[in-house]
Amino acid sequence: MEEKEEKLTPSLILKMFAETNKRIEKDWQKIKEMFAESKIEADKRNAEADRRAAERTAESEKEWEEIRKQMKEVRKEIGGIGYSNGKMAEDMIYNALNRDKTFAGIKFYDIERNVKFKSKKLNLDGEFDVVLENGDTIGIIETKYKVEKDNITDLVEKKTINFRKLFPMFSDYKIILGIGGMSFEEDAITTAKEKGIGIIKILGDKLEYYTDGIKIY
């Protein structure tokens, strides 16, 4: 028996469209649910990644803070060592000069250390490690653990001039200069000799003086 072909009518076409729409809506709902689940999973993964990144950042910052702390301690220790060595150099040079009060073949009557003076009027202050005086000559001795070229320049171009300004009572005195330390940069020695500054080298528990060609300032 032949199957009777269903005749398309407007109502049948509408029915078919309705069923097709239902299937499409059902499939679209599944797709939306799949996207929603994927978004939830993605959000979870992103949140976990952000959490781990935050943890790594916190750990890194903590590590850097510890490194900065250690570097600060190292700088503090180095500064303390430098200060101690500088103080030792000053003590040795002062004690040696204080024993016979002689520098560059000149006899002095008085010696002072750590001479500081501040003038509000001049808006100027100065500090001088060792100062010798004998009535017509002043000896200014700068002491360092390690003597650099800049120390020589500073002594000639700044400290000597400031001394004249801060202590006008010595305006007609001659000034001789000396630089002493436990070690010297090569260009510091050359510059000191060129500028006629006496050199005091600390060698163990002894001092060596090089004062030939010393200049009067």
Strands 124-133 and 110-119: what pairing? Answer: antiparallel
DSSP state of 214: -
- The pLDDT confidence band at residue 6, using thresholds 50, 70 and 90, is low
Give a yes or no: residue 60 inside a domain.
no
Residue 33 counted as domain residue? no
CB neighbour list of residue 165: distance below 8 Å, 6 or more residues apart? 119, 122, 124
Q: Could you report the per-residue pLDDT of 136-146, keeping only the tens digit for each? A: 999 999 999 99
Rounded to the nearest integer, the mean pLDDT of the chain is 83
**What is the reported pLDDT for 69?**
66
CATH at 114: 3.40.1350.10
pLDDT at 197: 98
Per the structure, the complete domain to which residue 152 belongs is given by 91-210
Place 81 in a pLDDT band, splitting at 50, 70 and 90.
very low
* Residues 143-197: tens digit of each pLDDT: 999 999 999 999 999 999 999 999 999 999 999 999 999 999 989 999 999 999 9
CB atoms within 10 A of CB 77: 10
* Listed range (61-65, 91-95, 96-100) with the worst mean pLDDT: 61-65
CA distances to 6, 10, 13 from 3, rounded to whole Å, are 9, 21, 20
What percentage of residues in the chain have a pLDDT greater than 90?
56
In a domain, 125, yes or no: yes
Per-residue pLDDT at 11:
66
Average pLDDT, stretch 79-105?
A: 82
Q: What is the pTM of this model?
A: 0.63
The 3-state secondary structure of 153-170, one letter per residue? HHHHHHHHHHHHHHCHHH
Domain count, the chain: 1
pLDDT of residue 31: 73
Number of other residues whose CB lies within 10 A of the CB of residue 163: 20
Q: State pLDDT tens for residues 24-63.
A: 777 777 777 777 677 777 777 777 777 777 777 767 677 6
Contact 53, 46 (CB under 8 A): no
What is the Cα–Cα distance from 16 to 152, expressed in whole angstroms? 104
Note whether residue 63 is domain-resident: no
Q: Are strands 137-147 and 124-133 parallel, antiparallel or unpaired?
A: antiparallel
- On whether residue 137 sits in a domain, the answer given is yes
Within a domain: 201 = yes
Cα 177 off chain centre by: 31
- Cβ-count burial of 201 within 10 angstroms (0-12 exposed, 13-18 middle, 19+ buried)? middle
Q: Is 151 inside any structural domain? A: yes
Q: Does the residue 113 lie in any domain?
A: yes
pLDDT at residue 82 greater than cutoff 70:
no
